[in-house]
Amino acid sequence: MTIISEEIKVTTTGSAGSATGAANSPSGIYGKIHAIYFDFHASTPNTADVTVTERIGSADRQTLCVETSSKTDVMRYPRRAVEDNAEATVTYDGTRPIYEKYAVNGQIRVAVAQGDALTDAVVVTVIYET
């Protein structure tokens, strides 16, 4: 197991409070996501929404993490509920879901909405194992 980090910088354009932007990871990420760090520009408004998704080709495959109306630098540890072959959530005892790290196999896309026009409005670091 090797731990790797990949930085994704998003520049936003548009009007104050409604600027948008998106960027993909420079290369594909193949492994399990350990953590995602959000480093917001000091001038990012607290209305900014940031969505991190796995992308296959030009389509989003799964949402990994969302920060809504935020400008606070934060580390997140996204997990998903385990599912069986019928897509039912697997639990320990019928009530408590079992969670595991997201498995990814493609580029990671970071999209920002409701921001201000800024260079590097948010820098997202994805920490994963191969």
According to CATH, what is the number of the domain 3-129? 2.60.120.380
Q: What is the pTM of this model?
A: 0.93
Please choose, from the candidates 81, 115, 125, 118, the residue with its C-alpha nearest in 3D space to the C-alpha of residue 101.
Answer: 81
CA distances from 109 to 55, 56, 59, 71 (A): 6, 10, 10, 18
Average pLDDT over residues 5-15: 97
Give residue 57's pLDDT. Answer: 80
Give yes or no for a contact between 121 and 10, defined as CB atoms under 8 angstroms apart.
yes
Buried/exposed code over 43-66 (b: 16+ C-beta within 10 A; e: otherwise): ebbebbebbbbbbeeeeeeeebbe
For the stretch 39-83, pLDDT in tens is 999 999 999 999 999 998 888 899 999 999 999 999 999 999 999
Query: Domain boundaries in the chain?
Result: 3-129
The stretch 4-27 carries a mean pLDDT of 96
CA distances from 111 to 48, 80, 122 (A): 10, 20, 10
Burial class (CB in 10 A: 0-12, 13-18, 19+), 10: buried
Burial of 120 (C-beta count, 10 Å sphere; 0-12/13-18/19+): middle
pLDDT, tens digit, 9 for 90 and up, residues 84-116: 999 999 999 999 999 999 999 999 999 999 999
